[in-house]
Amino acid sequence: MQAYLTDLSWESNLFVNVHMQSAKADPDAALRREASKLEPELGVTWTEPGMPPLEVEVTDLGQVDVSMLWTDPEPPPNSDAVTAPLIAFLRRLDPVPQHRSR
């Protein structure tokens, strides 16, 4: 799955949520980021545990790339089993829908 910002005013919120989610998945990630303050951070990568696990990369431009590896010996029972973890992850990054009515 790939996603990107469509509203740059939300960029800082995205990165706050990205750092919170990566710290939840890998508590030592925040310590490594603090230790590497001498080098500019060009992006964040981490693995979201679960079934299926998600490999997440967010670039400094706000591009989100999520790869999912189905590790269950049985195939997914339906398309919802594949899309539900991705939708749940996006809702954690963007907890408030950015819908605008005009």
Residue 57: inside a domain: yes
Average predicted confidence (pLDDT) for the chain: 81
Residue 95 banded pLDDT, cuts 50, 70, 90: confident
Domain count for the chain, please give it. Answer: 1
Can you tell me the distance from the alpha carbon of 21 to that of 95, in angstroms, rounded to the nearest whole number?
A: 12
* Predicted TM-score (pTM) of this structure: 0.70
Residue 35: inside a domain: yes
Residues 6+ apart with CB under 8 A from 97: none
Alpha helices in 1-102 (DSSP H): 11-25, 28-35, 79-93
> How much is the average pLDDT of 9-21?
83
Q: C-alpha 85: how far from its chain's center?
A: 11
Give the per-residue pLDDT at 92.
86
pLDDT(39) > 90: no
Residue 63: inside a domain: yes
